[in-house]
Chain A
Amino acid sequence: MSTELLGIAAIFGATVLLAIPLGRYLATVYRGDRSWSDFLAPLENGLYRLSGINPAREMSWQQHLQTLLTINVLWFVWAMFVFCFQGSLPLNPDGNPSMSADQAFNTAISFLVNCNLQHYSGETGLTYLSQLVGIMFLQFVTAATGMAACVVVFNALRDRSADKLGNFYVYFVRSITRVLLPLSLVLGLLLVFQGTPMTFAGKQALITLQGDTTAVSRGPAAAMIAIKQLGTNGGGFFGVNSAHPLENPTYLTNMAENLSITLIPMALALALGFYLRRPKLGYMVFGVMTASYLLLQVPTVYLEMHGNPALATLGVDQTLGALEGKEMRLGSAASALWAIQTTVTSNGSVNAMHDSLTPLSGMNAMLGMMTNAFYGGVGVGLLNFFVFIIVAVFISGLMVGRTPELLGKKIEAREMKIAIIVALLHPLMILGGTALAAHLYVSNPTEYASWLANPGYHGFSEMLYEYTSAAANNGSGFEGLGDNTPWWNISTGLVLLLSRYLPIIGPVAIAGLLAGKKYIPESAGTLRVDTATFGLMVFFVIWIIAALAFFPALALGPLAEHFSIGY
């Protein structure tokens, strides 16, 4: 048991140790300073030339958003095409069919917004072509989109007064060539040498040792699994994601994959400080994120390692923890670690079935997505955190009776309105969606009986989790939910869209507006944001908003389930 705890301590420790130098590197790359990776410049220049892009042209915040949205629409059309016609396209050795329109819509949207809500199973729902040029392509480019948007905000905060905020394509392309591709290559190679398949052969039929006939699904999995983790997309090659023994064959691959979930989000938080040449600001953000994350993580590890209390009277020896939905090579501790890291980062890959987590662990996973700013998705996590910083600055300003300022720029009504809309959109999507679904279910339980795999409080949690996951662009699920129906495909598809683009547009707009304002030099009365005091303020702002918005819903689901066991 102690080796399981040592294992997860090693994963977390290694991630933090790697995130610090990576944060410095990211700041260097995005500033355009000299770095060891400059040998990739010819590749990047080739891409610009092929695409007719002038990398020296600077863009305003509006032009950034226009560029971002245009290219996203193209990707959507591309993905819809691939999923709708995959059955007749090449690289389909298992003869899998094309997707229905509503499922293709849900899948295309889901991966376009860097989510991985998967209302299909990879083994039967996709072809190898779809996995590579549909899913994996979006895993690269949507991660880079989030990172580029994040750098636009960095720029706006750096420049004392400017309306030109760099070139979107440059940040986007560099995110791929200098960060995502090299790291994916490293992880992909580790995976193939640990036994993950990378083949274009179809499933293999065989007769087992005791004589049963079976078949084993395979495919070009290793390349995709690497970027699925690093880009915080999370979409698995196989149906059960990284619980699958070919997707995550050993404890070593589990350590590497888990590390890759949080690595770039952590590094970006630190990069903020390095980029602005205010490293303390990065440490403040990282500190608040880490403290909040541990608040969810520690109890979850404890609970999962102590077994399912509902089985206590059955005479089961639960020294190894709660193992329903978990894999032996990973164990309960590493499953609990992953469950929280994947939900706080909007990654959404899983190495254990979240539906079978003990009730409070399931709640902590939901809280990770409800707050959605502790490390967060690559780029977008920091954008969400930025919104909370704005709110905290405003409240602090009111408390001391001064005009709120962030890094020398006044925060005024327009910025506050945007920040509050973004901050409240998230609970609205989650609670509104769940309320509608619950209403439908209750008004006709026989018609919708196939929705819920579990009765009572847990059934409610399944619906709440699905909308939380969609709104956080996370993608994990309480997979007992029968979600491949038009209602779930379309409603979660809409939630996904709104919850991706508004939280990118909002913070970029705020930052753009701030960048255009007159710079006020720091004085003795300036609120310093790179201090522990302000960090505490942000911490409380995030948790108070989450508690006020979500406590009633959580009380009906996981909390009620927890107290029904009678600890």
Chain B
Amino acid sequence: MKNNIASAFRLTLALLVLCCGAYPALVWGAAQVAPGQGQGVQVSHKGRVVGFEDVGQKFDRPEYFSSRPSAVDYRADGSGGSNKGPTNPEYVAEVGTRVAAFLRLNPSVKPGQVPVEMVTASGSGLDPHISPAGAYAQVERVARLRGLPAARVKALVDAHVQEPIFVLLGPVTVNVLQLNLALDTLTEK
């Protein structure tokens, strides 16, 4: 028994070195040549870091394409979903309020056609994407507020639609930060 404890203790130490020292060191080493050097892929605009490519951020100014609702208000030093049950009356009412607000903000959208992701909170609270439908529904408003032709803005969305892997696997998305960056660049020209 005593022998057993000693062996178990020494094996634990040896495995700590192997699994928690050598293995993460290898992955860390590889990260140094990966995009973003393992720090997360950052996005810059006019020489200033404005965000991470994969981490969503809040866009509540109407001249930007909006992100999805977030249970943590896009504070990325945390993360969280709403954890609301599907039939919770308070939740259903909240979605109703969001639908009304979306229709008010985007008068060109017909009732019944509000894209679902624009009125439901994501799992992480940091979802960087919306669907193409979610982006197209906002084109008229963004173009109007920026004084741009709607066709220009629509073309910009077209260019930012991310196809599924091999055009076959997975959903179609639009990265909101990249779309808004391109929008700012277009407006500044």
A74 → B minimal CB distance (Å): 5
* A210 lies within 8 A of B59 (CB): yes
Q: With A51-B10, A327-B127, A331-B170 as given contacts, are A356 and B82 in contact (CB-CB < 8 Å)?
A: yes
CA distance A239 to B125 in the complex (A): 11
Interface residues of B, CB < 8 Å — how many? 105
- Selecting from B15-23, B140-148, B150-158, the interface stretch reads B15-23
* B12 lies within 8 A of A71 (CB): yes
Verify if B86 is at the interface (C-beta below 8 Å from A).
yes
Interface string of B112-139 (1 = CB under 8 A from A): 1111110111111111111101000000
- Selecting from A195-203, A273-281, A412-420, A505-513, the interface stretch reads A195-203
B180 → A minimal CB distance (Å): 6
CA distance A255 to B88 in the complex (A): 32
CA distance A461 to B53 in the complex (A): 37
* A70 lies within 8 A of B8 (CB): yes
Q: With A209-B51, A328-B127, A357-B86 as given contacts, are A311 and B92 in contact (CB-CB < 8 Å)?
A: yes
* A222 lies within 8 A of B81 (CB): no
Closest to B3 in A: A52
Q: With A70-B5, A121-B78, A323-B116 as given contacts, are A214 and B57 in contact (CB-CB < 8 Å)?
A: yes
Verify if A251 is at the interface (C-beta below 8 Å from B).
yes
Q: With A136-B20, A209-B180 as given contacts, are A316 and B116 in contact (CB-CB < 8 Å)?
A: yes
Verify if A383 is at the interface (C-beta below 8 Å from B).
no
B124 → A minimal CB distance (Å): 4
Q: With A192-B31, A352-B123, A458-B88 as given contacts, are A216 and B61 in contact (CB-CB < 8 Å)?
A: no
Contacts of B133 in A (CB 8 A): 317, 319-320
CA distance A177 to B70 in the complex (A): 42
Contacts of A137 in B (CB 8 A): 15-16, 19-20
CA distance A317 to B171 in the complex (A): 16
Number of A-B contacts (CB under 8 A): 385
Verify if B106 is at the interface (C-beta below 8 Å from A).
no
Q: B83 is contacted by which of A222, A244, A479 (Cβ under 8 Å)? A: A479
Closest to A1 in B: B171
Verify if B149 is at the interface (C-beta below 8 Å from A).
no
CA distance A251 to B14 in the complex (A): 36
Closest to A43 in B: B18
Closest to A324 in B: B120
B127 → A minimal CB distance (Å): 5
A147 → B minimal CB distance (Å): 14
CA distance A125 to B3 in the complex (A): 37
Verify if B159 is at the interface (C-beta below 8 Å from A).
no
Verify if A310 is at the interface (C-beta below 8 Å from B).
yes
Contacts of B56 in A (CB 8 A): 245
Contacts of B8 in A (CB 8 A): 51, 67, 70-71, 74
Contacts of A352 in B (CB 8 A): 81, 123
- Residue pairs across A and B with Cβ atoms less than 8 A apart, 10 shown, are A51-B14, A141-B19, A206-B50, A240-B125, A245-B128, A246-B55, A317-B112, A326-B123, A328-B122, A329-B170
Given contacts A140-B19, A326-B122, A458-B87, 9 further A-B contacts (CB under 8 A): A3-B168, A6-B169, A7-B169, A94-B77, A137-B19, A199-B38, A325-B123, A327-B129, A353-B81
The 8 closest A-B pairs by CB, nearest first: A243-B123, A480-B83, A458-B85, A331-B171, A328-B129, A353-B81, A251-B170, A454-B85
